[in-house]
């Protein structure tokens, strides 16, 4: 019995640091151009036409972003994973679940999924990670758009819920740690 309480405490602490952030809002509108795309390696290959800005855009990336956008305006809730409230890692879990990709529960562990990429190489659907408290990764966002080199990401902030922010904002820029590509 003592061990189960210990593990519950550890899990709670892990989730506690998963999304401690403040929110900054940026309104973005995606400009769309037709691009021929292919599905990521985790699925069977097939070609499809999707629209988006700067880069080839897979069906899976589109699905992840569409799912994440369904939560815009949803309030922040520590440990939440539903439309009534969710945290940053809960948003990522739900968005990637739309394409059958199971993600870990906390942002620090999500940062170990996929392949690390250079910031200048990020595309829509990639993940961006931040240290907003302490020395570990504690926040995650999904790249929603890259326009003229500016990276916009959707995430759940503690103060404003699910919003789109820019990596050029001083708050986020100073706390950026790494980017990864899961799809």
13 in any annotated domain? no
Give the chain's length.
183
For the entire predicted model, the pTM comes to 0.72
59 in any annotated domain? yes
140 in any annotated domain? yes
12 in any annotated domain? no
Rounded CA-CA distance 57/47 in Å is 11
Instruction: Check if 31 is active-site.
Output: no
> Average pLDDT of each block of 10 consecutive residues along the chain (183 residues)?
40 42 37 29 30 58 97 96 96 97 97 96 97 94 96 96 97 97 95
Range of the domain at 151: 20-181
Structural domain count of the chain: 1
69 in any annotated domain? yes
Instruction: Check if 155 is active-site.
Output: yes
3 in any annotated domain? no
- Check which CATH number belongs to the domain holding 142 and give it: 3.90.1720.10
**Candidates 24, 33, 52, 139; catalytic one:** 139
134 in any annotated domain? yes
Instruction: Check if 139 is active-site.
Output: yes
């Amino acid at each position: 019995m003592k061990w189960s309480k210990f593990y519950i405490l550890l899990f709670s602490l892990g989730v506690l640091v998963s999304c401690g952030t403040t929110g900054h809002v940026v309104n973005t509108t995606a400009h769309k151009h037709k691009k021929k795309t292919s599905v990521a390696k985790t699925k069977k290959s097939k070609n499809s036409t999707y629209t988006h800005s700067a880069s080839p855009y897979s069906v899976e990336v589109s699905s992840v972003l569409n799912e994440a956008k369904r939560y815009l305006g949803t309030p922040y809730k520590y440990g939440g994973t539903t439309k009534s409230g969710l945290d940053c890692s809960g948003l990522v879990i739900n968005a990637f679940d739309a394409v059958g990709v199971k993600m870990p529960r906390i942002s620090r562990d999500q940062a170990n999924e996929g392949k690390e990429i250079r910031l200048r190489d990020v595309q829509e659907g990639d993940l961006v990670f931040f240290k907003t408290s302490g020395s570990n990764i504690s926040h995650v966002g999904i790249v929603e758009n890259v326009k003229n080199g500016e990276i916009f990401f959707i995430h759940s902030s503690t103060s404003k819920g699910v919003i789109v922010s820019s990596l050029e904002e001083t708050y986020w820029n100073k706390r950026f740690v790494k980017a990864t590509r899961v799809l």
